[in-house]
């Protein structure tokens, strides 16, 4: 689960549809335009991205860091702190 502060950055990215690069805890990297933050059918919080191959859901609990791929007034890179 994300801290409240980190969750705010996810919400900002989705509100402004900021293109982002996510680094997951597994080391995988996903790039796409942030579209929405919501819960899936299993009640896990997910971030919806529009990628080159279509829409992709990423569980927010799996995100290590998020980097904005465009200049914006809100954030550049955020290192997430996962809480229990």
Domain membership of residue 68 (yes or no) is yes
Domain membership of residue 33 (yes or no) is yes
pLDDT tens readout for residues 21-35: 999 999 999 999 999
Predicted TM-score of the model (pTM): 0.92
Domain membership of residue 84 (yes or no) is no
Residue 72 CB partners (closer than 8 Å, separation 6+):
16, 18
Mean per-residue pLDDT over the chain, rounded: 94
Domain membership of residue 10 (yes or no) is yes
The domain in which residue 30 lies consists of 4-79
What is the per-residue pLDDT for 6? 87
* Cβ contact 64:18 at 8 Å: no
Domain membership of residue 40 (yes or no) is yes
CATH number at residue 32: 2.30.30.100
pLDDT tens readout for residues 41-61: 999 999 999 999 999 999 999
Domain membership of residue 24 (yes or no) is yes
Q: How many domains does the chain have?
A: 1
What is the per-residue pLDDT for 84? 61
Domain membership of residue 57 (yes or no) is yes
Measure Cα distances from 55 to 26, 36, 48, 79 in Å: 20, 11, 7, 23
């Amino acid at each position: 689960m994300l801290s409240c502060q980190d969750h705010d950055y996810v919400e900002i990215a989705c509100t402004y549809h900021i293109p982002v690069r996510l680094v997951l805890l597994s080391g995988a990297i996903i790039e796409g335009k942030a579209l929405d933050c919501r819960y899936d059918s299993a009640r896990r919080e997910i971030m919806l991205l529009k990628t080159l191959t279509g829409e992709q859901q990423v569980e927010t609990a799996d995100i290590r860091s998020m980097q904005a791929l465009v200049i914006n007034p809100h954030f550049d890179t955020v290192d997430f702190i996962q809480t229990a």
